[in-house]
Amino acid sequence: MLTLKNITKTYKDKKVFQNAKFEVEPGEIVLLTGKSGIGKSTLLDIISGIKKYDSGTYYYQGIEIFPQNDEKMSAFRNQAIGYILQDFALIEDYTVMENILLPTLYNNKMDKKMAEKKARELASRFDLIGLFGKKVKKLSGGQKQRVAIIRSLILDPQIILADEPTTNLDSENFEFIMEIFKELKESRKIVIIATHDYRIHEIADVVYQVENYKLVKDV
Ligand SMILES: Nc1ncnc2c1ncn2[C@@H]1O[C@H](COP(=O)(O)OP(=O)(O)OP(=O)(O)O)[C@@H](O)[C@H]1O
Ligand SMILES: [Mg+2]
Separation CA 128–CA 121 (nearest Å): 10
Mean pLDDT over residues 157-164, rounded?
Answer: 97
How remote is the CA of residue 128 from the centroid of ligand 1, in Å?
A: 32
Mean pLDDT over residues 121-137, rounded?
Answer: 94
Nearest to 41 by CA among 212, 219, 210, 217: 210
Confidence class for position 8, pLDDT limits 50, 70, 90: very high
* Residues 72-108: tens digit of each pLDDT: 888 899 989 999 999 999 999 999 999 999 999 988 8
Q: Quickly count: other Cβ atoms within 10 Å of residue 175's Cβ.
A: 11
Mean pLDDT over residues 113-123, rounded?
Answer: 94
* Residues 175-206: tens digit of each pLDDT: 989 999 999 999 999 999 999 999 999 999 99
Q: Which CATH class is domain 2-217?
A: alpha beta
Sorted by sequence, the CB contacts under 8 Å of residue 135 that are 6+ apart come out as 92, 93, 94, 95
* Residues 204-213: tens digit of each pLDDT: 999 999 999 9
Mean pLDDT over residues 170-178, rounded?
Answer: 91
**Residue ranges of domains in the chain:** 2-217
How remote is the CA of residue 182 from the centroid of ligand 1, in Å?
A: 28
How remote is the CA of residue 102 from the centroid of ligand 2, in Å?
A: 23
Residue 212 beta carbon below 6 angstroms from any ligand 1 atom: no
Q: What is the pLDDT of residue 179?
A: 92
Separation CA 122–CA 100 (nearest Å): 10
Residue 198 beta carbon below 6 angstroms from any ligand 1 atom: no
Sorted by sequence, the CB contacts under 8 Å of residue 77 that are 6+ apart come out as 48, 49, 50, 83
Pocket test for ligand 1, best of 10, 32, 41 (most atoms within 8 A of CB): 41
Q: What is the pLDDT of residue 189?
A: 98
Q: What is the pLDDT of residue 109?
A: 82
* Residues 52-68: tens digit of each pLDDT: 999 999 999 998 988 77
Kindly report the backbone phi and psi dihedral angles of residue 194, in degrees, each rounded to the nearest multiple of 5, phi listed first: -90, 125
Q: What is the pLDDT of residue 29?
A: 98
Pocket test for ligand 1, best of 36, 86, 200, 210 (most atoms within 8 A of CB): 36
- Residue 71, pLDDT above cutoff 90: no
